Amino acid sequence: MPSLKTIRKRITSVKATQKITRAMKMVAGARLNRAQQRITALRPYALKVHEILEDVAASMAERQSDADDPNRVQSLHPLLLRREEKNVLYIVMSGDRGLCGAFNTNVNKAAERAWKAKEAEGIEVSFATAGRKCREYLSRRKGVVAKDFPRLLDGLDISKARKVGEYVTAKFARGEVDAVYLVYNEFKSAMTQKPTVELLLPPPERPETAGHSPTKDTGVTPTFGFEPNEQIVLERLIPMYVEISIYRALLETQAGFFGAQMTSMDAATRNAKDMIGRLSLQYNRARQAAITKELMEIIGGAEALKD
């Protein structure tokens, strides 16, 4: 059995750790509240931007002279072009720190599964990383990290998403990659984050409109007014869609990280409390045994003197 001094040191150490985990839980909870408000406010906007982009592109395609051209939507802008996938780029987003349970592990494994699946099809894969944990994970597994964006989650704003968007749109427009995917943890709740692999470029089509124009089912073509003209609106709308999509994924990652960290630190605090209880019981038993031993030695000595 450990000595009383050893047990006291362990209790003191666990109590100090408990204070740290409790403080980290409170900090993560406060940050989660702000991050959750931001992602809740942005989600409808991001989805609407994608919807408008699809509708505008479809409306412009209907105005083209060659209505029978199946690729007329793709010809409107180089970022709408759909090519056979030979080179793809994954933008992987994770936290810069640990102490968040399986948050980083889940997104890293999702990226690795997608990577191996593409490689099995003979497709070359490269990565752009946003987060130290995913960069280290992919580097250890000999993944091609073409670009790293360090510390994006610190002071996160739209300008950081714009920097990532400019990089990936340039690579896609030059034909260096045929598709760009986002890999991130979608925030569901403080306890649940869903690893997600999502196509960014070319913009995915809605299932109900993929492969056909909106007029074939409804007979109605959406009416839009364009100022100054259609092409300029589309050229501004597509970069906006890329920026907002990346910004949303970053906000999802940030909120998910704080939620996972808060949950993990809450569990660590409760585990520390349980450990302190077990160590205190062990300490009391050891102290009681030591006192009993001393009493037995005193009584034995007194009996020996009588003899």
Position 260, amino acid: A
Helix residue ranges per DSSP H, the chain? 4-63, 103-120, 132-140, 158-173, 215-218, 230-306
Cβ contacts of 226 within 8 Å, gap of 6 or more: 232, 233
DSSP 78: G
Can 100 be counted among the known catalytic residues? yes
CA distances from 264 to 216, 272, 303 (A): 52, 12, 58
Q: Take residue 130 and report the two structure tokens written for it.
A: 């946003």
Q: Directed axis angle between helix 230-306 and helix 103-120, to 10°?
A: 130
Contact 266, 22 (CB under 8 A): no
Q: Are strands 124-130 and 179-189 parallel, antiparallel or unpaired?
A: unpaired
Q: Take residue 136 and report the two structure tokens written for it.
A: 């280290």
Q: Which is the catalytic residue, given 28, 100, 182, 268?
A: 100
Position 275, amino acid: M
Contact 85, 64 (CB under 8 A): no
List phi, psi (to 5°) of 147: -155, 140
Cβ contacts of 299 within 8 Å, gap of 6 or more: none
Strand partners, 22: none
**Catalytic residue list:** 100
